[in-house]
Amino acid sequence: MMAAVGGVNGQKLYARIAGQMRALIEGGQFQPGSKLPPLAELAEQFGCSRATVREALGALRGQGLIEFRHGDGTYVRSVSVDVWMEPLEAAVLLSVGQAKQLVELETAILAGIAGLAAERAGEAGTSRLSQALFAVECAWPATEEAVVSGLSFYLVLAELAGNPLLENTLRVLQEALRSSIRLLADHPLSGLEACKRVMDAVQMRDPRRAREVINEYGKSMAAQIEINRRAPGWRQAETDAPDLL
């Protein structure tokens, strides 16, 4: 078993494990086309919880390194991460000075995803999205649980869009999106309210309405960034922490 890995220099545990797993893939320990060990075995190998391994696998999937096969397991892809993904990975590291542009990127991606999901989600897909919405509704407002459940809702939405490139793009941007969702924790158009409106649009098979909801949500995020910029101590926070908050 590998030694347990803790966060270093602010890097999240799952991101550290994803980096180690990527190194194993690139080093040939996990061969292209091979099936990865079960979740429990990976958790033991890396000395962490299954939930952490699941997040790490999600990150690797977003990078195009692995794929999930329903009912069969997780496999290493036969091709390496696409070159076009690299600029998006760099975008996650943008400073607060470019936060508004990053929110615009997130909004554009999410709006496309929402429109396609409204067109393509079948009955089973709509049921999955409803379950994800229920988790958002059960989360205590303005907490990290609410942020995580909101992010999970959009990741399910991305799967229902039926476009792997859009889904992978959102997964690459998920940490930036997580920070963006936090911006509106106390806003009238909260994460829950936005998810409800998207769910309604998907159920009504209304792609235009789905895109409108996301665009409105994005505008609220951008407006909140401007409010934060004018708040006392913002410039110091901008220097100390490269985050959207």
DSSP codes of every residue in 198-214: HHHHHHTT-HHHHHHHH
The average pLDDT across 181-191 equals: 74
The average pLDDT across 101-105 equals: 88
What was the pLDDT predicted at 201?
Answer: 97
Q: Which two tokens stand for residue 48?
A: 């962490």
* Residue ranges of the chain assigned to CATH 1.20.120.530: 85-234
Using the predicted structure, report yes or no on whether residue 195 has a pLDDT greater than 80. Answer: yes
What pLDDT band is residue 87 in, cutting at 50, 70 and 90?
A: very low
Cα separation values, 205 from 56, 147, 243, Å: 33, 26, 35
Return the higher-pLDDT residue of 38 and 90: 38
* Residue ranges of the chain assigned to CATH 1.10.10.10: 13-76
Using the predicted structure, report yes or no on whether residue 86 has a pLDDT greater than 70. Answer: no
What was the pLDDT predicted at 128?
Answer: 94
What was the pLDDT predicted at 109?
Answer: 96
Using the predicted structure, report yes or no on whether residue 10 has a pLDDT greater than 80. Answer: no
SS3 44: helix
Using the predicted structure, report yes or no on whether residue 122 has a pLDDT greater than 80. Answer: yes
Class of domain 85-234: mainly alpha
What pLDDT digit, counting tens, does each position of 206-239 carry?
999 999 999 999 998 888 877 776 766 544 444 4
What's 98's DSSP letter?
A: G
What was the pLDDT predicted at 22?
Answer: 87
* CA–CA separation, 141 and 202 (whole Å): 24
Return the higher-pLDDT residue of 96 and 214: 214
What was the pLDDT predicted at 194?
Answer: 92
The reply to whether the predicted model has a pTM over 0.75 is no
What pLDDT digit, counting tens, does each position of 161-180 carry?
999 889 988 988 887 888 88
* CA–CA separation, 114 and 196 (whole Å): 12
Residue 127: is it exposed, middle or buried by C-beta count within 10 angstroms (0-12/13-18/19+)?
Answer: exposed
For 148-184, b/e burial (b = at least 16 CB within 10 A) is bbbbbbbbbbbbbbbbeebbbbbbbbbbbbebbbbbb
Closest CA to 181 of 142, 210, 211, 216: 142
Say yes or no: domain 13-76 is CATH 1.10.10.10. yes
